[in-house]
Amino acid sequence: MRALRILLVVTVVLAAVLVVVDRVAVHIAEGEAADRLKAAEDLARTPDVSIDGFPFLTQLADGTLDEVRVGIEDYEAGTGDGARTIRIADLSADLHGVDFSTDFGSAVAAEATGTATIAYDELLKAAASESGRVGPGVTARVVGLSDGGNGKIKVAVEAAVLGVELPEPVSVLSSVTVVDGDTVRVEADAVPEFGGVEIIESAVRRITDFEQGIDGLPGGIRLDEVRAAGNGVEITVKGSDVRLVG
């Protein structure tokens, strides 16, 4: 019995040591992966990297991680025209089946899903910034975007009739969709009226409707779906064979 008790104690101690070693190893790997990703994407801040699954050392030996979670703040994405970038406030992704090299110099995920948030003031930059003619003696321009409820964007349009600005911006509810995996499109559900002046719908839509290209996301992930929310538009992203580094 004494020998059995000693054996049990040794087994428990060894198991505890292995758990500690495993957790230390995963912590080191997360830090190395974060540094590699920061360098590869030229990020201003070190991203959050979390390697899930236990034990980690077994996954390390296999060269494939079951799941890796990545979080990036203030990511500067491209807009497709090369003229400017658009800031993504929060970008998070769940990566599955990540094959990697022993020094984490390369890492490719079989699948990736995630979310991104773009603030309304960032999306507003894609709307017409200058006044445009929408009818006889009527000019208008988009001056604000906000949450319109039920997944809609409220677009505030400032207008002037015969050179006199209307006392309050006109608001219109707009639908937001993803086009071709790299573009956010905002379209008014119905065009607004400006001071009772008869106007052409297509002319108004040149002001109220707009698109924002978003490309250059990490590993080539693409836009999937989008909806309006409290502080901006929330986008789901996805991808396959996502190359993070290397």
Q: Can you give the pLDDT at residue 168?
A: 82
Write down the pLDDT at residue 112. Answer: 94
CA distance linking residue 57 with residue 28, whole number of Å: 12
**Each residue of 181-199: pLDDT tens digit?**
999 999 999 887 776 666 7
**Nearest Cα residue to 127 out of 59, 39, 187:** 187
- Torsion (CA) 233, 152, 230, 70 in degrees, nearest 10: -30
Please report the pLDDT score of residue 206 as a whole number.
86
At 7-44, the pLDDT tens digits run 454 454 554 555 566 566 777 888 888 888 888 888 88
Q: How many of the other CB atoms lie within 10 Å of CB of 232?
A: 22
Q: Are 115 and 128 in contact (CB under 8 A)?
A: no
Q: How far is CA 116 from the centre of its chain?
A: 2
Note the pLDDT tens digit of each residue in 110-164. 999 999 999 999 998 887 656 677 777 788 889 999 999 999 999 998 888 777 7
**DSSP state at residue 104:** S
Alpha helices, DSSP H, located in the chain: 2-41, 56-62, 120-124, 201-208
Q: What is the pLDDT of residues 72-124, one digit of tens each?
A: 999 998 887 767 889 999 999 999 998 887 666 788 889 999 999 999 999 98
pLDDT value for 9? 47
The two most distant CA atoms of the chain are separated, in Å, by 100
Residues 221-244 have pLDDT tens digits of 999 999 999 989 999 999 999 887
CB 178 within 8 A of CB 45: no
Q: Report CA-CA distances (Å) from 133 to 130, 185, 208.
A: 10, 22, 12
**Which of 75, 156, 81, 160 is CA-nearest to residue 118?**
75
- pLDDT of 224 reads 95
Strands (E), 150-188: 152-161, 164-165, 170-179, 183-188
pLDDT of residue 15: 47
State the virtual CA torsion across 225, 212, 116, 94 in degrees, nearest 10.
70
Q: How far apart are CA 152 and CA 233, in angstroms?
A: 9
CB 223 within 8 A of CB 206: no
